[in-house]
Structure 1
Amino acid sequence: MDDKTGSTGYGEENIPVVPPSVIKSLEEEELVKKREAESSDNTHESVVYWQGSDEIPSNLKDLKGILKEVVGLGVSFDVVLREMTVAGRKTGLLFLNGFTNDVVLTEILDRFTYLTSEDVGNHIVSTIKNQYIPYVQVEEITELSEAINNVLSGLCTVFFEGEHTAILLDTRKYPTRSPEEPAIERVVRGARDGFTESIVTNINLVRRRVRDPGLHCEAMQVGRRTQTDVCIIFIDDIVDREQVEAIRHKIQEIDLEGLPLGDKQLEEAIVNKGWHPYPLVRYSERPDVVASHLLEGRVVVMVDTSPSVMIMPTTFFDLCQHAEENRQTPFMGTYLRWIRFGGIFASMFLLPLWMLLVIHPELKPPYLNILGPREMGKIPIIMQFLIVEFGVDLMRLAAVHTPTPLASAMGLIAAILIGDVAVKTGLFVNEVMLYMAVAAVGMFATPSYELGLANRVVRLALLIAVAMFGLKGFVIGTTLLILMLTTHRSYNSSYLWPFIPFSAKAMGEVLFRKPLLYSRTRPALNKARDNSKMGPEMSPKRKQ
């Protein structure tokens, strides 16, 4: 052979030599272009984009490269890959620094240090999982995206050199506060614990009260990016299974980036999708209230990071009831319920009715001649109401953002400097301030915060209708309100039940807080499979 070797016909002296620095520069340039071109919506798509499959790499060096691009290993300070040697194999533990119970993890690692290759044999993953991890929640996984998603939820994943299978350890420890009494649902007597932002803690608070083997807690993840934990809770032998399946199906169909605002966004995604002001679910932060609704055949939906849970289905009258009524005697509970109903009614209709009588004094019966302003203010009545309405809302918003030590000072400013001066200058009349205060108290006495806001919008609409059309406006506005609430449905359940459709027995349960032993059946609205609350031997007239 001559000196011109190779199939190309060129000598070795003519082969161009590329410096390593140029090769590295080209590789980095291609890597930057690949990063900029990525448009993954979830972890699975990102893993497949960077390595072509969702398989766990058997080489830890390749694994570190994928983790750097997908989860930010080496960039995010809280993403940790602890490398060590276990039984002669290179091992990596992937976890989030702030979510891991370091005491449990250290104890497991301490056991790993004593293992030799003879202890584990050829099946290192299954042997370590079954024999050398003294922990309860342990499982094997084969997909890298599943491992990353679980790590982002607070779990720990153990990778082994030469293996396409990893071990998943539930060693998470979420930062959370202790259960405290909810600020909105306070009671004079009763439990002082309330839900927190941890879904596991919330489920435990419910299970403490309902020790029923039929209590099911189905967990799922919602959101391509947030992977928010959502849990459906129900008692299997009581609840209507078709309703559970409908709720489960709607949650599984959600295709969103995530639920960073928790339960409210989930409600909009599966229940209240339009512009209707009235709530279709009942929110509660009390475990005892949730437990009682579960025993009635309702479905409860919990969302991680939310201290309140959703109860479905619900009605207008359910939203008007409070736990305090069941903490008192039946007579006093009924009294409190009627007072609350009166306050809710006043918050909706007191102002429109009074303005109607002012505009049309001929409608007033003789014994109501004391009503009405002695002197009219410098501003029309309807403008006075609108200004005061917006003023109350402004003060309510300001109270939310005002530090507690300054709240009293803000109240004095609202009561004296604004209200009193506005009346003395003649801009407003005393009756407007009085009735607006009564309506505001009725709104704040509404147990459901969402229902109180919706009733306030109805009050504004009725005030405008009365100002424009008088008696006809009030009648038409009230009729439209009843029609709107009648056609409004919560999971195929009438929103005004048991008023429309009317059920005398169920309406009696709403108006009167019956004694425990007289309330023997579950509400028909829930279509419970087991309609009886008590055994056949239990009777209010049982022998002593």
Structure 2
Amino acid sequence: MDDKTAHNDGNGDLVKDIPIVPPSEIKKLNEEALKEKREAETSDSTKESVIYWQQTDDVPAKLSDLKETLKEVIGLGVSFDVIFREMNFAGRNAGLLFLNGFTNDMVVTEILTRLTYLKPEDVNNQALNEMMNRYIPHVQVERDTRLSKVIDEVLSGLCALFIEDAHSAIILDTRKYPVRGLEEPAVERVVRGARDGFTETLVTNVNLVRRRVRDPGLHVEIIKVGRRTRTDVSLVFIDDIADRTQVEAIRNKIEEVDLEGLPLGDKQLEEAIVNKGWHPYPLVRYSERPDVVSSHLLEGRIVVMVDTSPSVMIMPTTFLDLCQHAEENRQTPFMGTYLRWIRFIGIFASMFLLPLWMLLVIHPEMKPPGLDILGPQKNTEIPIILQFLIVEFGVDLLRLAAVHTPTPLASAMGLIAAILVGDIAVKTGLFVNEVVLYMAVATIGMYATPSYELGLANRMVRLILLIATALFGAKGFVIGTTLLILVLTTHRSYNSSYLWPFIPFSAKAMGEILFRKPLLMSRRRPAINKTRDNTKMGSDMNPRGEH
């Protein structure tokens, strides 16, 4: 009781004279000393908290000491869902620690029922080993002596069995997470194709991919990220295809993440390991479709899954890769190519249509012959650039309102936006018809972009080009477009060019981007992935599929 310790109070100052007490003495502290010790704790991880309360990370020998530590570390007796069930097996006192709601009751009951049949003569001095190896009929069972590791596993949904004087615990994987039903992703819908999409449960997402890629080389590594949340992050790749240097680089970046947690899932992890600055363009591709992810794995890409996130990250990616959609590969090569070109036109229209039209309005002498119909037929008191800015912000406001509007009211909101706002604004002379028309076309092009993040980035580029064109005319448009290309060229996705195969130019790869080639003619994986095996087919098969 006379030993003291010094610790940080969170403001950089050391607080002294905090008593160090073993777990057996915690209950003997008076309320004031215990309150002082609790308020002085500044632990930001389970291990630090365990060591703070019992000076070691070992599992206590006595269940009474264990309960005192659990009370302070995990809130036993305070949190209603933290359960510590005390029992006696073969003459040995035991305790089962688990979270109510995360545990499969039927499995746990079956295990406990089997253990109740044990007699003292059935186990020797190594009671824990005997129970784990002979009497627990379960698949995923492990033993650990670190109390912090045991608590972390329990918080993940597992349960832990403690035996008096064993100095360790048996960890049983009896998890039963709340799972949302498999549904087609709202962002990546296809006319024909699979209707299953990723959910918020990591194990389910991995199974959806393994169902499609039954390759022994498919590796799924697990990494825990976050000192407090201990979020499960999976690194998925095909070992004999993916570039191991790239896999190692991504793995190291994930392991080096030093955050309290990832409550917002994959987006926070992306900011921590990939896109750390203010650049608007995404460096990863998000997908909620298992078939799309499986296809990218077979091309040599690396996939990162985060527990509680229904979307996964695909790396590396490029600008033109983000412009492709699964629907193109669900149609014939000819129709897939047609749909791809329509999508490309819509994407580039969302970026350059409004600045080009405004440039021709400002400088009518630049209109090509036969395009005299371009330009406002009548002017208003509000300058064109101000009209564009108002409509731009209005469209963004409507987009945000649509996200937060309940589904039954969405139709009513659309009518209000289209009739009461748009139509009346034109009739009263606030906007010219062409401004509303071209803004609608540009907005449709933004929504036609397969990647939601890319669509938002293109919208910001359009806004900047509009302002540059309004201020500096043709020079502003040309300089702005040139700077955009330079910025995207210097933008790197894990040491890969963001504009590949346009810069650096690869005629063959560019052809595969512009044209959806027939399956049997696409024989090699994209060079940007630096795959160890770049062939998709056997060397004895010709492009027509004949041996």
TM-score normalised to structure 1 length: 0.95
| Other structure's SS at 2:234 match | strand
> 1: CA distance between counterparts of 2:466 and 2:76?
60
How far is the alpha carbon of 1:427 from its aligned partner? 0.6
Residue number among 102, 112, 119 corresponding to 1:99 in the alignment: 102
Aligned 1:526-541 pairs, distance under 5 A: 526-541=529-544
Specify the alignment match of 2:469 in structure 1.
466
Specify the alignment match of 1:428 in structure 2.
431
> 1: CA distance between counterparts of 2:333 and 2:341?
12
> 2: CA distance between counterparts of 1:331 and 1:531?
25
AA in 2 matched with 1:319: L
Specify the alignment match of 2:77 in structure 1.
74
> 2: CA distance between counterparts of 1:290 and 1:64?
45
Residue number among 420, 427, 446 corresponding to 1:443 in the alignment: 446
AA in 1 matched with 2:221: E
Change (3 A) 1:113 1:543: closer
How far is the alpha carbon of 1:421 from its aligned partner? 0.6
> 2: CA distance between counterparts of 1:419 and 1:199?
44
TM-score normalised to structure 2 length: 0.95
How far is the alpha carbon of 1:179 from its aligned partner? 1.3
Specify the alignment match of 2:313 in structure 1.
310
Establish whether residue 164 from structure 1 lines up as the match of residue 152 from structure 2. no
Establish whether residue 490 from structure 1 lines up as the match of residue 482 from structure 2. no
> 2: CA distance between counterparts of 1:133 and 1:340?
57
> 1: CA distance between counterparts of 2:357 and 2:29?
80
Establish whether residue 143 from structure 1 lines up as the match of residue 132 from structure 2. no
Specify the alignment match of 1:185 in structure 2.
188
Establish whether residue 367 from structure 1 lines up as the match of residue 370 from structure 2. yes
How far is the alpha carbon of 1:215 from its aligned partner? 0.2
Aligned 1:383-398 pairs, distance under 5 A: 383-398=386-401
Establish whether residue 353 from structure 1 lines up as the match of residue 351 from structure 2. no
Aligned 1:156-235 pairs, distance under 5 A: 156-235=159-238
> 2: CA distance between counterparts of 1:84 and 1:165?
17
Conservation of the 8 A alpha-carbon contact between 2:520 and 2:544: no
Conservation of the 8 A alpha-carbon contact between 2:521 and 2:544: no
Specify the alignment match of 1:64 in structure 2.
67
How far is the alpha carbon of 1:178 from its aligned partner? 1.5
> 1: CA distance between counterparts of 2:106 and 2:161?
17
> 1: CA distance between counterparts of 2:380 and 2:99?
65
Conservation of the 8 A alpha-carbon contact between 2:241 and 2:532: yes
> 2: CA distance between counterparts of 1:311 and 1:513?
21
AA in 2 matched with 1:352: P
Task: Describe the superposition over 1:265-310 as per-residue Cα deviations: whole angstroms up to 9, x where unpaired.
Answer: 0000000000000000000000000000000000000000000000
Specify the alignment match of 2:515 in structure 1.
512
How far is the alpha carbon of 1:148 from its aligned partner? 0.2
Specify the alignment match of 1:291 in structure 2.
294
Q: Please list every run of 5 or more consecutive structure 1 residues that lacks an aligned counterpart in the other structure.
A: 1-22
> 2: CA distance between counterparts of 1:280 and 1:170?
36
How far is the alpha carbon of 1:96 from its aligned partner? 0.2
How far is the alpha carbon of 1:396 from its aligned partner? 0.5
> 1: CA distance between counterparts of 2:110 and 2:498?
55
> 2: CA distance between counterparts of 1:107 and 1:175?
21
How far is the alpha carbon of 1:541 from its aligned partner? 3.1
How far is the alpha carbon of 1:128 from its aligned partner? 0.4
Specify the alignment match of 2:20 in structure 1.
none
How far is the alpha carbon of 1:115 from its aligned partner? 0.8
> 1: CA distance between counterparts of 2:50 and 2:488?
49
Specify the alignment match of 1:153 in structure 2.
156
Task: Describe the superposition over 1:315-363 as per-residue Cα deviations: whole angstroms up to 9, x where unpaired.
Answer: 0001000000000000000000000000000000000000000000000
| Other structure's SS at 2:508 match | helix
> 2: CA distance between counterparts of 1:368 and 1:215?
56
Conservation of the 8 A alpha-carbon contact between 2:200 and 2:307: yes
Count of equivalent residues = 522
Residue number among 89, 109, 113 corresponding to 1:110 in the alignment: 113
How far is the alpha carbon of 1:39 from its aligned partner? 0.3
| Other structure's SS at 2:387 match | helix
> 1: CA distance between counterparts of 2:545 and 2:475?
55
> 1: CA distance between counterparts of 2:389 and 2:89?
73
Specify the alignment match of 1:121 in structure 2.
124
How far is the alpha carbon of 1:239 from its aligned partner? 0.4
Residue number among 372, 379, 394 corresponding to 1:376 in the alignment: 379
Establish whether residue 268 from structure 1 lines up as the match of residue 271 from structure 2. yes
Specify the alignment match of 1:40 in structure 2.
43
How far is the alpha carbon of 1:536 from its aligned partner? 1.2
> 2: CA distance between counterparts of 1:259 and 1:404?
29
| Other structure's SS at 1:208 match | helix
Conservation of the 8 A alpha-carbon contact between 1:137 and 1:169: yes
How far is the alpha carbon of 1:26 from its aligned partner? 6.0
How far is the alpha carbon of 1:25 from its aligned partner? 9.0
| Other structure's SS at 2:30 match | helix
Conservation of the 8 A alpha-carbon contact between 2:198 and 2:204: yes
Establish whether residue 500 from structure 1 lines up as the match of residue 503 from structure 2. yes
> 1: CA distance between counterparts of 2:220 and 2:233?
10
> 1: CA distance between counterparts of 2:109 and 2:211?
31
Specify the alignment match of 1:50 in structure 2.
53
Specify the alignment match of 1:14 in structure 2.
none
> 1: CA distance between counterparts of 2:545 and 2:58?
66
> 2: CA distance between counterparts of 1:99 and 1:63?
22
Specify the alignment match of 1:410 in structure 2.
413
Task: Describe the superposition over 1:45-73 as per-residue Cα deviations: whole angstroms up to 9, x where unpaired.
Answer: 00000000000001001100000000000
> 1: CA distance between counterparts of 2:349 and 2:106?
57
Structure showing greater radius of gyration is 1
How far is the alpha carbon of 1:485 from its aligned partner? 0.2
> 2: CA distance between counterparts of 1:147 and 1:35?
22
Establish whether residue 399 from structure 1 lines up as the match of residue 413 from structure 2. no
Q: Please list every run of 5 or more consecutive structure 2 residues that lacks an aligned counterpart in the other structure.
A: 1-25
Conservation of the 8 A alpha-carbon contact between 1:378 and 1:428: no
AA in 1 matched with 2:86: E
How far is the alpha carbon of 1:540 from its aligned partner? 2.4
| Other structure's SS at 2:370 match | helix
Conservation of the 8 A alpha-carbon contact between 1:373 and 1:430: yes
How far is the alpha carbon of 1:24 from its aligned partner? 8.4
Task: Describe the superposition over 1:406-456 as per-residue Cα deviations: whole angstroms up to 9, x where unpaired.
Answer: 101000000000001100110100000000000000000000000000000
Specify the alignment match of 2:15 in structure 1.
none
CA RMSD for the aligned pairs? 1.1
Task: Report sequence identity in percent.
Answer: 78
AA in 2 matched with 1:153: S
Conservation of the 8 A alpha-carbon contact between 2:103 and 2:157: yes
